[in-house]
A and B are shown apart, each in its own frame.
Chain A
Amino acid sequence: MSLECGAHAMLGLAFETGVAFFLILTFQVCKGPPQHEEICLGLFTLVLTEPAQAQKCYRDLALVSRDGMNIVLNKINQILMEKYLKLQDTCRTQLVWLVRELVKSGVLGADGVCMTFMKQIAGGDVTAKNIWLAESVLDILTEQREWVLKSSILIAMAVYTYLRLIVDHHGTAQLQALRQKEVDFCISLLRERFMECLMIGRDLVRLLQNVARIPEFELLWKDIIHNPQALSPQFTGILQLLQSRTSRKFLACRLTPDMETKLLFMTSRVRFGQQKRYQDWFQRQYLSTPDSQSLRCDLIRYICGVVHPSNEVLSSDILPRWAIIGWLLTTCTSNVAASNAKLALFYDWLFFSPDKDSIMNIEPAILVMHHSMKPHPAITATLLDFMCRIIPNFYPPLEGHVRQGVFSSLNHIVEKRVLAHLAPLFDNPKLDKELRAMLREKFPEFCSSPSPPVEVKIEEPVSMEMDNHMSDKDESCYDNAEAAFSDDEEDLNSKGKKREFRFHPIKETVVEEPVDITPYLDQLDESLRDKVLQLQKGSDTEAQCEVMQEIVDQVLEEDFDSEQLSVLASCLQELFKAHFRGEVLPEEITEDGHKAHATPEAPWESLPNLCQMQEDNSSFSLLLDLLSELYQKQPKIGYHLLYYLRASKAAAGKMNLYESFAQATQLGDLHTCLMMDMKACQEDDVRLLCHLTPSIYTEFPDETLRSGELLNMIVAVIDSAQLQELVCHVMMGNLVMFRKDSVLNILIQSLDWETFEQYCAWQLFLAHNIPLETIIPILQHLKYKEHPEALSCLLLQLRREKPSEEMVKMVLSRPCHPDDQFTTSILRHWCMKHDELLAEHIKSLLIKNNSLPRKRQSLRSSSSKLAQLTLEQILEHLDNLRLNLTNTKQNFFSQTPILQALQHVQASCDEAHKMKFSDLFSLAEEYEDSSTKPPKSRRKAALSSPRSRKNATQPPNAEEESGSSSASEEEDTKPKPTKRKRKGSSAVGSDSD
């Protein structure tokens, strides 16, 4: 920091002189404002840099300050906004300390400093320094809660900040502890000051959705939905919140100043087409770790809600907002992040109202769909699909409102001429039939076009009526990034006029421009240059192929300068660009999957050479180098190569060439290369992805069979017809997607996927012949509420199986929960079909788990451990089963093994359990009486209907429960035989005491 204070030096010198020193200060301060400022900043500097003196300096500062610390507060804000990243650790610690002191003394304006401080906490960043900052600021706010409650804006901002940060904090014990503090803090503010939190607007709901699985928030959600008045008398329900637009200060507060500066720079200064490096740099700094996925939503919300460029920028060639959104969407690596990102993009659509909301908030979504149609139809498709599905799925009770919101958005978009017609977007031949059908069904009024449907025109009508409105905005210098953004109010006022002249020619999307390769040509040898020129001029593919062959021959000649490879690759890449635009896969595929037509694809015509060569041949590696150069410039080559190797007869059986290729690329290894290529293929062409799947799995089992990532890539994009195709491939023996040793792991990974993806994974699994026992351990990971897909699939499979002891054990190991009906369902089914077998297994499990240590544990921490099978658990499940079977004719509980086991268990049970399960144990009573007598078969017959008897004994049981509950503790210490007898006799209702 550059603090221009001459007083600094003097302060250092006079420091130890105590009172005299203070008098000097006071004297100086009295001289006038400049001296006052110097002294304040001098003391402030000492606080930051001299921890040992901080206490004393702060005291002096408080005494000499004549402006209520204003100068210092301003300086703190300035340092935080401009220099925080450059501060050393000591300085940061001292700054936290100082803010804590300011808050403690209740200095007016300290709330502002706290908010600036919270802004420094980066989202999606769990590095130590960032966690330290999050925790330090939270500690101040928690310690000074009373003070926090005095500022409504601070309450709202703190809740918004920490609700968002909770999502990042999980995993290690330290983070978990921090998360708990954050949860407690947010919950207490939300519950006590809900009105203040309401001012956040609809993004409060978005953040609450992300934490809804945390028990404290689950309860809060219940109140929000069922009992809104309990939170605040003025709160009428969730709709109220969803209908209010989020104020920009909240959307902006989750970006650090550095992120904000960089994004604003991109949207105000960088020209469209020049953004690549800036994106890379931003990504490297903020989006490269798995933890950072959550930041994308903050960025998208910020771009939609805060970055509203001026008209000058809008009509210039500056990087448009939709392009940044497109970049953020395409670089999402996890599906959860991707669907959150889509929701963030559409969030203002759902309850859009033209009076309250701005067209600027909904515009990026429609434009990214519009502009991606040609280069990335998959993006457009997934967004349109999301737009349809979110209507019924966002929150079913409000489906009507959401539909209305989406409709209003689309209407408004057409009205304001963001797009003149939606039909070219909704009814585009690039979209698959199902999606188009869904769009027609949901939005019939937008699907009929005035003229016959044509492909989306990429070039827009250019800036009409531009001159009319050039002057109605005042931003003269969009050089200054901040000036490019309007306030809420201003935005509302001007939004009516804004739209008329949105469009400007867009460089990158102009497709049919002749390719310019002159800069490269100059660097080529003469003969090579000629051939490349021939290639460029040649119009028919056959001739092109011949030339290509000649080029390849020349490359293979001994005197070829290998330094030219890279230049040659650049030329080829440019010339063959068109090859990589469309889809590769022909409409019809012949049975053996080979190409049905003979369209040569020029770059690959060199491959027959490759296929015929020996791998140790130097020409072979030269061709690989050429491919690798091409690959660097055109990553699509990777999956095109896979397709070629799969489809071309010349390359039959040469799939392993791909491995050599992968090793020759800069990626250098097969796995990474394969995953990247499949990902690229997934984005470009789903049909091809499905087509390649069987051969990829067959040829590279080591890379594919253990990869949940690959499976997810596939199931994330296929539709049900494609799923069926894959299932058939599996059953016909063409495709193996799972192996015993890795399937469990992959299915566990799949638990985080979206519903359809999970169902696909299970269907594909079921198509294989892998014994169900292999994957039963997954049960330990499944929660009834969170994993309905996996649980129901598993349930339906288990019912086809004969129960093994292991299965029964796993099933019984599920914690008992009143809402969880999984175990009872399957036990009941087995009762009906395999009652004897089940009885034997249960007996054996009851007896095995009846040992004392287990029992003690179960008493102390009942059901705290997920997978631990406890006696109590078994009994509880059995009791549930008993209740379920009450009105059936099923005699499961009259079977000898069950009765024996129950008796056995009862004998060693303590009183509390005996009572808890008295109904269950009573089934075995009569059996017990005669258990010492040898002929058991007779007994069994006599016990034909335990149910009826159980009902008869209920009243006495109930009495006993209330009568002896206080005595049960001392009973524990008594010798067992006594207990057993007591229990036995009281159960039949006699009053033996």
Chain B
Amino acid sequence: MNGVNDPPLFIKDIKPGLKNLNVVFIVLEIGRVTKTKDGHEVRSCKVADKTGSITISVWDEIGSLIQPGDIIRLTRGYASMWKGCLTLYTGRGGELQKIGEFCMVYSEVPNFSEPNPDYRGQQNKG
């Protein structure tokens, strides 16, 4: 199992369907808030590590606390396709924890959340 003490997974290794992810990243952009039907606030944030960037969907008030430049550890996350894009989520019992800011080297490309034809089939199946 992927626990807190395991070395974090690189963003490049995140594939749709993976669970129990432990990832450390720096926040680059925070998207606009959208509201779900049952009143949850959802933000799409662009985050990156040295292997590339990905979009993470952050739910509820923790999204309003995150700032660009924050370095965050995600525990028990999972990845899946949303609207054709690979997206990272916080899973049940998982959390986002700020562990620093600014001082992390990242690479914005490749952006693994860009629409990817390879995954289209999988999404349809799922």
Contact = CB atoms under 8 A, between A and B. Distances in A.
Contacts of A269: 103, 105
Interface in A264-283: 265, 269-271, 274, 277-278, 280-282
A261 B107 CA distance: 20
Interface string B5-32: 0000000000000000000000010000
Given A281-B68, A281-B69, A262 B105 contact: no
A754 B69 CA distance: 37
| Of B28, B68, B103, most A-chain CB atoms within 10 Å | B103
Interface in B74-114: 101-103, 105, 107
Contacts of A280: 68
B102 A281 contact: yes
Contact of A261 (B28, B68, B103, B105): B103
A450 B16 CA distance: 63
Given A281-B68, A281-B69, A270 B105 contact: yes
Where chain A touches its partner, the secondary structure class is: helix
A281 B107 CA distance: 16
Nearest to A269: B105
Contacts of A270: 105
B105 A277 contact: no
A277 B103 contact: no
Contacts of B69: 277-278, 281
Which interface residue of A269, A274, A280, A281 has the most chain B CB atoms within 10 A?
Answer: A281
A43 to B, nearest CB: 30
Interface in B49-90: 68-69
B102 to A, nearest CB: 5
Interface string A22-58: 0000000000000000000000000000000000000
Contacts of A262: 102-103
Nearest to A264: B103
A313 to B, nearest CB: 14
A281 B101 CA distance: 10
Interface residues of B, number: 8
Interface class of chain B by DSSP: loop
B69 to A, nearest CB: 4
Interface in A784-826: none
Contacts of A277: 28, 68-69
B28 A265 contact: no
Interface residues of A, number: 12
B68 A265 contact: no
Contact of B103 (A265, A271, A274): A265
Interface in A236-282: 261-262, 265, 269-271, 274, 277-278, 280-282
Contacts of A271: 105
A262 B26 CA distance: 14
A262 B103 CA distance: 7
A271 B102 CA distance: 14
A265 B26 CA distance: 14
B45 to A, nearest CB: 14
Contacts of B68: 277, 280-281
Contacts of B105: 269-271
Contacts of B107: 274
A901 to B, nearest CB: 69
A270 B103 CA distance: 9
Interface string A924-948: 0000000000000000000000000
A527 B102 CA distance: 43
Contacts of B101: 281
Contacts of A278: 69, 102
B50 to A, nearest CB: 11
Contacts of A282: 102
Interface in B27-54: 28
Contacts of B102: 261-262, 265, 278, 281-282
A378 B54 CA distance: 39
A275 to B, nearest CB: 11
A720 to B, nearest CB: 45
Nearest to A265: B103
Nearest to A280: B68
A277 B27 CA distance: 10
Nearest to B29: A277
A265 B102 CA distance: 8
A174 to B, nearest CB: 30
A508 to B, nearest CB: 16
A282 B107 CA distance: 18
B17 to A, nearest CB: 25
A539 to B, nearest CB: 30
A278 B69 CA distance: 8
A310 to B, nearest CB: 18
A281 B28 CA distance: 10
Contacts of A265: 102-103
B46 to A, nearest CB: 11
A481 to B, nearest CB: 8
A278 B105 CA distance: 10
Contacts of B28: 277
A163 B52 CA distance: 46
A255 to B, nearest CB: 14
A274 B28 CA distance: 12
B86 to A, nearest CB: 17
B83 to A, nearest CB: 13
A277 B103 CA distance: 12
A337 to B, nearest CB: 24
Interface string A278-314: 1011100000000000000000000000000000000
Most buried by A among B69, B101, B107: B69
A271 B105 CA distance: 9
Nearest to A479: B105
A270 B69 CA distance: 14
A81 to B, nearest CB: 15
B98 to A, nearest CB: 11
Q: For A271, A278, A282, which residue has the most chain B Cβ atoms within 10 angstroms?
A: A278
B109 to A, nearest CB: 9
A280 B101 CA distance: 13
A269 B28 CA distance: 17
Contacts of A274: 107
A282 B68 CA distance: 11
A280 B105 CA distance: 15
Contacts of B103: 261-262, 265, 269
B64 to A, nearest CB: 16
A272 to B, nearest CB: 13
Nearest to A261: B103
Interface in B106-124: 107
A277 B68 CA distance: 9
A269 B26 CA distance: 15
Nearest to B111: A519
Contacts of A281: 68-69, 101-102
Nearest to A278: B102
B85 to A, nearest CB: 13
Interface string A519-540: 0000000000000000000000
22 contacts: A261-B102, A261-B103, A262-B102, A262-B103, A265-B102, A265-B103, A269-B103, A269-B105, A270-B105, A271-B105, A274-B107, A277-B28, A277-B68, A277-B69, A278-B69, A278-B102, A280-B68, A281-B68, A281-B69, A281-B101, A281-B102, A282-B102
Given A261-B103, A281-B69, 5 more contacts: A265-B102, A274-B107, A277-B28, A280-B68, A281-B102
Interface of B: 28, 68-69, 101-103, 105, 107
Which 7 A-B pairs have CB atoms at the shortest separation, nearest pair first? A281-B69, A265-B103, A262-B102, A269-B105, A281-B102, A281-B68, A277-B28
